[in-house]
Every structure is written in C-alpha cells, then in structure tokens.
Amino acid sequence: MNYLWTDFETSGLNPTSRKILEVAAVLDVEGKIFEVVDSVIQHPAPIFDPSQGWDSEAWEMHQKSHPTYASQKGRPLLEDMRNSKGIVLERVEHALCCAVAPFPPNSVMLAGNSIHFDRSFIHVHMPKLDGMLHYRHMDVSCLTTFLEGAGVLERDKGPKPHRAMPDVQRSIRTFYTYKHNVRETFLGSSEAPLGRAPDWTVTEWTVDPPTWKEKP
C-alpha cells in the first residue's frame, strides 16, 4: 500500500466553518519518501482577527513557538503566515492530486495521526482529492492507543510542535517504528523487509522514536 501522509493545521475543528492554515504532505511509495507540499495557505487579512472564524484554543496554540523544533519551523504558525504570502488552497489540492494521479484509482491511502480530522477538511475543501484516495485511513494515533492499552508502549508526554511538516515526520517515524517492532516480534528478525523507518531524504528526522517498555 502507498500512503499520502498529511497534516493540516487549521483555525478550528469544524471543517465547514474553519480554515486550513498550513498543509504538509509526503508521498510514501513502498517506504520511499517524496515531499509533495509544505506551505502555509494564503488568506485575506481578516484571518488575523481571532473573532473571524477561529476556535479560541486554536488561536492561542498557533501563537506559541516551539523551541524544540527551532531548526524546523519552530516559529508560531501565525508569525509565518504574517511573513509569508503562502499559496492558495486550490494549488495545494492540484499538487496533491498530481502526486496521487499516477497510481491506480483508490490505491493511495491517507495516513497520519488522527487522520480522520484531516480527511474531514479534505472532504469539504478538496473534494477532487477526496475522490481519488482510498476510503480507508492509516491512523497512527489509533495504533498508539491500542499499544498503550496493551501495556507495551509508554505514552509520549512530550510537547507537540503543531506545525504541519514536523507532525508528518513524527507520524511516519512512529508508524515505521511500530512496524519494525511488530515484524521483529512475529518474524524474529529486525531485518525483515520494510521493517525499518525509511531514509528521510528531504530533511533530517527531528523526533525520537516511541519508547517501548522492556520485557519483564
């Protein structure tokens, strides 16, 4: 299965009344990584008014910096939006459709953390892309919840960057770390095909893999 790893930063939770502020997307073709989009989205000036289409929690979150990710978009999203023209959402959808188009219909699966959230915004704001994607998702947060409940994974309590590309990187690294550990457990070899995280050729990884509990 090929994956389109995405993360959307938005002005709130409701896709019909809130806006997409930043998009990152990476195409994963059998473990080979290709960056497709990493950009803030162009909006008129009223977007900087918290009374104009914002959830209060989102407004506060996107004004905060994240020093851990200083080398990779550690600035607040709103600061980048003010200092960058960004690109219009239609161009983003076009780029994503072009990335998915070479593959057979419905053979690319959307992937990420809590990816149903991103899919809800795609359904409303990018209907053409929505129709090209597989109807199922690869939700990494679901896998994390399962493994935590099974008592084999420590909950990650570290801060989240709430920037699109670092969040995409985190999702991919987590997914392939899980895959590596599962294959090692059931097949008895850490060198099983596609068992390790792929090389990140676009930018360096900045997120450590999840912490697995040691066997008693």
User: Rg of the chain over CA atoms, in angstroms?
Assistant: 18
- Which of 200, 207, 163 has the alpha carbon at shortest distance from 39? 163
Considering Cα of 163, then 41, then 9, then 171, what sign does the dihedral take?
negative
Question: Please, which residues have CB within 8 angstroms of residue 29's CB and are 6 or more apart in sequence?
Answer: 2
CA 22 to chain centre: 11
Catalytic residue positions, numbered: 135
CA 209 to chain centre: 16
CB 137: neighbour CB atoms within 10 A? Answer: 18
